[in-house]
Amino acid sequence: MFGNWLKTSLLMAAIVALFGTVGAVIGGAQGMILALVLGGAMNLWAYWFSDRMVLRMYNAQEVDEHSAPSLYRMVRELSQRAGLPMPRVYVIDEEQPNAFATGRNPENAAVAATTGIMRVLTERELRGVMAHELSHVRHRDILISTISATVAGAISSIAQFGMFFGGRDEDGRPANPVVTLLVVILAPVAAMLIQFAISRAREFEADRGGAEISDDPGALASALEKIHRYAQGIPLEPAEAHPATAQMMIMNPLSGGGVAGLFSTHPDTGERVARLRAMAAR
């Protein structure tokens, strides 16, 4: 667990440093300071409003014990086992089986599941998925992911600005055009790779934590296998329209299944299942 947190911290530091580097290439010392201030402002906005924004993107509908009794009671029972406050519970009317958690802290958390995942999985398997999402809540993974996504998006925006207006050194003179071009092309790619690495590091830990909360690692393993199988070829339109949110899901919702591992928002499903099966055997 400590290793994953250390890796995540280093990756977060790398993406913030990259943000400052892009600002420095485009506008010298002043550009670096401006970039870091902008990044801080975006992170502050993400801290307070990201959960509402994401839930709105997915047209998620809040449910309670009367409108979705089985799901609501399941989340309540797992929250108690995890020692967490009861989160808000949402349902998304989408066929692709998937789920995610959002919120800046356990006191302001929400979990969401698609109608597809509730149809495809057994109650035991769905319990494993909800425990996985509550593990994200307990470890504040969603806040980390949201901040990394926000900063990565800001890096892309600043890089595009540099492409149109060129870079400046500390004296205000035009910077080396070759260096500027390399930075504006490679920085967004580097930010994306760091963001995806953060996401993959946290998924393994959420699998482990979810298995402990549910006390049933085999159920989560079975759920992951089934989600992976059923989700193939079923688009999740909000995720396609807002790909930065893909990392929040329990399974990569994007249709580009043939992309190389570096560009994957999630670890290999087979490896995740193997780790959970090993936990179950112990």
Q: What is the pLDDT of residues 63-107, one digit of tens each?
A: 999 999 999 999 999 999 999 999 999 999 999 999 999 988 899
CB atoms closer than 10 angstroms to residue 265? 26
pLDDT of 163 higher than 80: no
Which of 2-11, 30-39, 191-200, 265-274 tops mean pLDDT?
265-274
Task: Inform me whether the pLDDT recorded for 171 exceeds 80.
Answer: no
Query: What is the chain's mean pLDDT, rounded?
Result: 81
pLDDT at 262 over 50: no
Could you tell me the residue ranges of all domains in the chain? 2-281
pLDDT value of position 261: 45
Active-site amino acid positions: 133
* Interatomic CA distance for residues 42 and 74, integer angstroms: 35
- Looking at this protein, which amino acid is placed at residue 102? T
Residue type, 13: A
What are the CB-based long-range contacts (under 8 Å, 24+) for 36-41?
38/154, 38/158, 39/151, 39/154
Confidence at 237, pLDDT banded by 50, 70, 90: very high
For residues 84 and 90, what is the distance between their CA atoms, to the nearest angstrom? 17
Give how far the C-alpha of residue 204 lies from the chain's centroid of Cα atoms, to the nearest Å.
13
Give the confidence band of 57 by pLDDT, cuts at 50, 70, 90.
very high
- Has residue 6 got a pLDDT over 70? no
User: Is residue 261 classed as helix, strand or coil in its secondary structure?
Assistant: helix
CA torsion, ordered 108, 109, 112, 118, to nearest 10 deg: -120
* Six-digit token string for 171: 């004296």
